[in-house]
């Protein structure tokens, strides 16, 4: 006996956990963060929000030619000096791969620990690529 699959559409492959397609992005991602991220160099953005979810500060750090991006203490000082309640981290991957690297995972863990010590919540860390973005929160990594 030969078992044949029915002819028709192939089953849908579930999206990778944490990935949000570009056309499904929320307004903050689509209109505030995405336009600030250029495709040829990694940039880190730190957006600070008050207790009413209003944007009160935005800091950026541009990566070097090796692709590494270091958030200088001055960026944190300027942002946290505005008395933020939550921080949203975002950066782009010029490679087009939305999955977080080991360095991204480590940076996120360190930011969560640091911010928690001073009573501030890291609401999410987003990694932008052309087709959408990866959300640490949606992937259950925060």
Report the run of H or E that residue 57 belongs to, with start and end. strand 55-62
Query: Structural domain boundaries of the chain?
Result: 19-135
Tell which wins on pLDDT, 64 or 125: 125
CA 26 to chain centre: 12
Per-residue pLDDT tens digits for 11-31: 443 456 899 999 999 999 999
Classify residue 37 as left (phi > 0), alpha (psi -120 to 50) or beta.
beta
Tokens in use for 40? Answer: 């040829």
Task: Report the predicted TM-score, pTM, of the whole model to 2 decimal places.
Answer: 0.84
Tokens in use for 8? Answer: 């028709």
Assigned architecture for domain 19-135: 3-Layer(aba) Sandwich (3.40)
Range of weakest confidence among 37-46, 74-83, 116-125? 37-46
């Amino acid at each position: 006996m030969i078992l044949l699959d029915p002819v028709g559409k192939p089953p849908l492959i579930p999206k990778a956990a944490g990935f949000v397609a570009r056309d499904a992005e929320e307004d903050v991602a689509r209109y505030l963060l995405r336009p600030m991220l250029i495709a040829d160099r990694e940039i880190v953005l730190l957006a600070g929000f008050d207790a009413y979810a209003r944007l009160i500060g935005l800091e950026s750090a541009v990566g070097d030619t090796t692709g590494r991006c270091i958030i200088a203490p001055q960026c944190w000082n300027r942002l946290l000096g505005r008395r933020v309640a939550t921080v949203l981290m975002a950066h782009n991957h010029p490679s087009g791969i939305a999955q977080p690297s080991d360095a991204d995972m480590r940076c996120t863990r360190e930011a969560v620990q640091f911010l928690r010590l001073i009573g501030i919540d890291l609401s999410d860390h987003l990694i932008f690529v052309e087709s959408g973005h990866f959300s640490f929160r949606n992937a259950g990594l925060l």
